[in-house]
């Protein structure tokens, strides 16, 4: 077929006039081909991609972050930036169907396009080798989307924001957990022994919390929020079902660290309006799904008191 600019022309996504061989910091996103699906999800595939990115970017082994959407597997990051071959190590993340990275290029070294081309080519070559060896399944058409997306990072503040986005990307991946539940974080916590924590407003000083494998609650009343802050600060495992959506939940204080350390699961309630009806549904959900309950303060005649009295009597309920 002869060249037809109306059909074959590919619109450039490059910034006109920018010297991509002149150095700088870039935020790069590379997507899998639409026919490839979640081709990067298997741990051994992710590890291969990590190796090839670190070789292509000159970062050296161990300089990046490799994260799966459910149970993250980390390659520890260096405490300081490591430079090799003109490129400086920056965080990256491998998701099932796409790849994010920050990369710093020195002026006079390879251009951003050369770097991405080399990386995609090496990954394709390695994948084909493993297919021929019978280790990985054959893929349809192509592995990579034909282009990539980049943003020029113009300030330290912008770089910090993007690094945070990359770091949290796996844990912001919404998962379907069954029975209509959606969540982010470590789904394995849902199968553990859960201590439901419920506390009315205007509670007095609580004192010592019972020991538990996993602490479970909506964490909405002032005293519940105080308990949650303590749990997160002391590295406890927590399930939260707040009365609002999960889209921005990962950015709450202390939550990002708990998600990264694989000790938190955030569930989305069906009613995310945040009103009294949503609060009642959240508390009922905790009462039904917890293996035991801790109720440090229950206001007589209040909503929580009513829900607890209507609950099945086959669960241990403890107070301070």
Task: Check: CB of residue 31 under 8 Å from CB of residue 94.
Answer: no
User: Do 11-172 and 175-318 share a fold?
Assistant: no
pLDDT, residue 315, reads 67
pLDDT, residue 217, reads 94
Report residue 289 CA to chain centroid gap: 25
pLDDT, residue 14, reads 56
The rounded distance, in Å, linking the Cα atoms of 101 and 37 is 20
Looking at the domain that runs over 175-318, which CATH code has it been given? 3.40.50.450
DSSP H/E element including 101: strand 98-105
The rounded distance, in Å, linking the Cα atoms of 76 and 65 is 7
The rounded distance, in Å, linking the Cα atoms of 169 and 250 is 10
> Cα dihedral sign for 59, 69, 166, 192?
negative
Identify the three-state secondary structure at position 16.
coil
Joined together, the tokens standing for residue 139 give 């893929």
Q: What are phi and psi of 314, to 5 degrees?
A: -100, 15
pLDDT, residue 239, reads 95
Joined together, the tokens standing for residue 191 give 């199968």
pLDDT, residue 89, reads 55
Cα–Cα nearest to 296, from 192, 226, 191, 213 = 226
pLDDT tens series, the chain, 320 aa: 343 444 333 444 555 555 555 578 899 999 999 888 889 988 899 999 999 998 887 643 333 444 433 223 333 332 223 333 344 457 898 988 899 999 888 777 678 888 899 999 999 999 999 999 999 988 878 899 988 898 999 898 999 888 888 877 776 677 777 777 788 888 888 889 999 999 988 777 777 889 999 999 999 888 899 999 999 999 999 999 887 667 666 666 788 888 878 899 998 876 666 677 778 888 999 999 999 999 988 989 998 889 988 877 666 676 76
The rounded distance, in Å, linking the Cα atoms of 258 and 261 is 5
Q: How is the chain split into domains, by residue range?
A: 11-172, 175-318
pTM flag (> 0.85):
no
Task: Check: CB of residue 166 under 8 Å from CB of residue 91.
Answer: yes
pLDDT, residue 8, reads 34
pLDDT, residue 257, reads 83
Fold for the domain defined by 11-172: Alpha-Beta Plaits (3.30.70)
pLDDT, residue 105, reads 84
């Amino acid at each position: 077929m002869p060249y037809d600019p109306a059909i074959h022309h590919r619109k450039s996504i490059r910034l006109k006039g920018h010297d991509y061989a002149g150095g700088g910091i870039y935020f790069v996103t590379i997507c899998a081909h639409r026919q490839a699906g979640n081709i990067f999800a298997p741990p051994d595939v992710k590890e291969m991609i990590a190796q090839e990115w670190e070789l292509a970017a000159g970062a050296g082994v161990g300089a990046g972050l490799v994260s799966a959407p459910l149970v993250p597997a980390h390659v520890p990051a260096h405490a300081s930036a490591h430079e090799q071959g003109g490129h400086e190590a920056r965080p990256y993340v491998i998701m099932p169907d796409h790849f994010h990275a920050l990369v710093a290029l020195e002026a006079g070294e390879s251009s951003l396009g050369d770097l991405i081309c080399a990386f995609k080519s090496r990954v394709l070559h390695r994948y084909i080798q493993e297919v021929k060896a019978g280790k990985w399944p054959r893929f349809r058409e192509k592995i990579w989307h034909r282009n990539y997306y980049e943003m020029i990072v113009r300030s330290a503040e912008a770089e910090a924001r993007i690094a945070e986005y990359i770091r949290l990307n796996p844990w912001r991946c919404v998962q379907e957990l069954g029975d209509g539940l959606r969540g982010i974080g470590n789904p394995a916590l849902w199968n553990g022994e859960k201590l439901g924590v419920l506390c009315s407003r205007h509670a007095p000083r609580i004192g010592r919390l019972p020991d538990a494998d996993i602490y479970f609650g909506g964490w909405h009343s002032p005293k519940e929020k105080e308990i949650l802050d303590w749990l997160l600060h002391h590295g406890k495992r927590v399930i939260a079902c707040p009365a609002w959506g999960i889209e921005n939940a990962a950015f709450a204080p202390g939550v990002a660290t708990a998600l990264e350390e694989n000790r938190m699961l955030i569930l989305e309630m069906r009613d995310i309006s945040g009103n009294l009806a949503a609060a009642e549904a959240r508390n009922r959900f905790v009462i039904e799904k917890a293996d035991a309950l801790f109720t440090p303060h229950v206001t007589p005649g209040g909503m929580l008191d009513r829900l607890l009295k209507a609950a099945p009597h086959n669960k241990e309920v403890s107070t301070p």
